[in-house]
Amino acid sequence: MWIPLWPASSAISGNVINALFTAELVVCVLILALVFGLIWVFCIRYRHSTTVDRGHPSQRSWVFEIGWTSATLVAFLVLFVWGANAYVWLYEPPRADLELYVVGKQWMWEIEHPGGQREINALHVPNGKIVRLVMASQDVIHSFFIPAFRMKHDVVPGQLETMWFQPTQTGTYRLECTEFCGTEHAHMTGEVIVMTPAAYAEWLSNQGADKTLAAQGEQLFRNYGCSGCHGVNSTVHAPSLVGLYGSLVHLNDGTTVRADERYIRDSILLPRSQVVAGFAPVMPSFSGQISEADTLKILAYIQSLNPSGNAP
């Protein structure tokens, strides 16, 4: 916390980003000091009134030329490798302890917990656990930003985004939308409340949720007629969704894809884009008929049909 301008880091990702940021700052300050130092030295040494020898310009020096070129190259390569590593690590979530569903819309964040607890512009999470967010936007691009965690992710309409974090400190932190999304954008803020696991469990049980997200999704699965084709008693030739989440799916164009959140969402909204091998493309598109929140509930239901599917 020795740079007073930034909030204290309260997540693993915060420490990683802080270290990288500090290293970049140090490199920049050193280069700046060298360049401006030399400017000052030459300004003073060769000012108009001095009598220093100006008659013998020194020979071109390859030592300096090669020295500064390779030194900056090495410095930037080190920063690049370091940054790329951190990026890949941040964008490839490990196996999560807890998965939450987030819908951004003008102008609020709606958050659903697996137990069916729902909150707006507030995010309660247990300390020390790996939390994974599955995020969607109902209208325009929003961006989900928790400054104290140094975590930010755009939420783009028409596609699912995921991000993860692991808080290290209980407390209340700011949650912001950092993508200009309309007139009330500045008020699209909220709080992240990191609680001890026991307090979080108690908070969950006080929310009065009667149905888990997966159970609500199962209800929707029947209401939208999915079970008519995908159910066990169906007469339509459609794949079973049991064990689908996280598995490898063979498509009729010969490719293989991992059935992650995005694949399942696209299967519902754009069924023609990826057709499972051995099946006719008879599934109707539900694009425009199912809200983002309902899609996430159905997704939670399909995920619950393979509890071990959340593999890294």
Which residues make up the interface to ligand HEC (CB under 6 A)? 224-226, 228-230, 236, 238-239, 241, 244, 249, 259, 264, 267-268, 271, 275-276, 279-283, 286, 298
The angle formed by the CA atoms of residues 172, 95 and 270, to the nearest 5 degrees, is 95
CB of 117: closest distance to ligand HEC in angstroms?
Answer: 23
Return the number of the residue (176 or 260) whose C-beta is nearest ligand HEC.
Answer: 260
CB nearer ligand HEC, residue 204 or residue 249: 249
Question: Binding partner of residue 309 among Cu ion, ligand HEC, none, CB under 5 to 8 Å per kind?
Answer: none
Give which of Cu ion, ligand HEC, none residue 282 binds (C-beta under 5 to 8 Å, depending on kind): ligand HEC
Name the one range near Cu ion by CB under 5 A: 33-41, 76-84, 135-143, 229-237: 135-143
Answer for which of 131, 135, 188, 192 binds Cu ion (CB under 5 A) is 188
Look at residue 135 and give the partner it binds from Cu ion, ligand HEC, none, a contact being a CB closer than 5 to 8 Å depending on partner kind.
none
Closest CA to 188 of 255, 110, 266: 110
For Cα atoms 110, 111, 116, give the angle at the middle one, nearest 5 degrees: 120
181 counts as binding Cu ion under rule CB under 5 A: yes
Q: Which is nearer to ligand HEC, 175 or 244 (CB)?
A: 244
Task: Give the tokens for residue 145.
Answer: 């930003």
The pair phi, psi for residue 289, each rounded to 5°, is -105, -25
Q: Note the helical H segments in the chain.
A: 12-45, 62-91, 197-205, 213-223, 226-230, 261-269, 292-304
Determine the Cα–Cα distance for residues 223 and 185; give it in Å rounded to an integer.
35
Cα–Cα separations (whole angstroms), residue 218 to 46, 133, 209, 304: 81, 21, 16, 10
